[in-house]
Each structure stands twice: as structure tokens, then as C-alpha cells.
Structure 1
């Protein structure tokens, strides 16, 4: 069961869209090493808008992800790749269907 989630919105700088997409695709390998990250999705919503949605069993799992390798990499590269600071929204999940 998952009860906590995150939604992160990313806006690529002009000309940095491919770099953001590559970052997100490569991020999957890092997230796969996080046992408490139950679900993780990288999304493209428009030409320059991207997002990450991930789910966790509890607050501890979410906190571990927020201090994990993907978060560190994202914030270390944000100024170079992104037009604005990523928005990170904490979400409480009411119901979920997972495999």
C-alpha cells in the first residue's frame, strides 16, 4: 500500500529539452535502487514542461527519496537545465492500484 506521493514540475530552458528528457530517463536507474519508492513516473506534458510523480508507503520513504540520488542530481543541475526552480508538491494518497 502507498499513502504518500510527490509531484515535481519541471520547466526546461529553451534548447535544454533533450537534456531534461535524458536526465529523467537516466533517473530511472537511480530510483530503482530506492526500496521505498514504490512507483515512479517521468512525464512530458508539453514541449518544455515535464514532471515526476512517485509514490511511497510512508513519510519515511518519501523523505528518503527527497534526500536521495535523483533529488541531489536534479537540484545540482537545475540552474543549468531548468527555466525555473522545480516545484515539489507533497501529496497524501487516498487510494491506489498497483501491480
Structure 2
């Protein structure tokens, strides 16, 4: 069961959008290795606007993700790839549908 989530908006520099897309694609194995990350999505809604949406069973699981390797790698590359700082929104999950 998931109770909390994150919604992160990422705005890429115009000439770095494909690099940000590649970074997000390459982060999937890291998300899969996190036991408390129940759902993780990297999405694109425009040529330069990206989103990470993920869900966790507890606030501690969410914090473990925020303290983990994906966030660290993103912040290490933020100045190079992003037009503005990531917009991070914490969320309470009101309802969900997950496989299985």
C-alpha cells in the first residue's frame, strides 16, 4: 500500500533536454533497487518539461529515496542540465491502483 508520494518538475535547458531524458531513463535501475519505491515514473510533457512521480508506503521510504542515489546524481548535474531548480512537491496518496 502506498501512502505518500513525490511529484518533481524538471525544466531542462533547451540544448540539454535529450541529456536530461537520457539521465532519467538511466535512473530506472536505481529506482528498481529501492525497496520502498513502490512506483516510479519519469515522464515528459513538452520538449523541455519532465516529471518524476513516485509513491512510497511511508514518509521514511520517501525520505530514503530523497537521500538516495537518484536525487544525488540529479543535483550533481542540475547546473548543467536544468534551466531552473527542480520543483519538488510532497504528496499524500489519496487513492491508487497498482498491479498485483
Give the TM bin, normalised by the shorter chain.
over 0.9
TM-score, length basis structure 1 = 0.99
In the alignment, which residue of structure 2 is the partner of 1:22?
A: 22
1:3 aligns with 2:3: yes
* Deviation per residue, 1:30-71 (Å, 9 max, x gap): 111100000000000101000000000000100000000000
* Alpha-carbon distance in 2 for matches of 1:41, 1:85: 19
- Structure 1 alignment gaps of length 5 or more: none
TM-score, length basis structure 2 = 0.98
* Alpha-carbon distance in 2 for matches of 1:14, 1:93: 33
* Alpha-carbon distance in 2 for matches of 1:57, 1:79: 31
Q: CA RMSD in A?
A: 0.5
* Alpha-carbon distance in 1 for matches of 2:28, 2:81: 18
Runs of 4+ in 1 over 3 A off after TM superposition: none
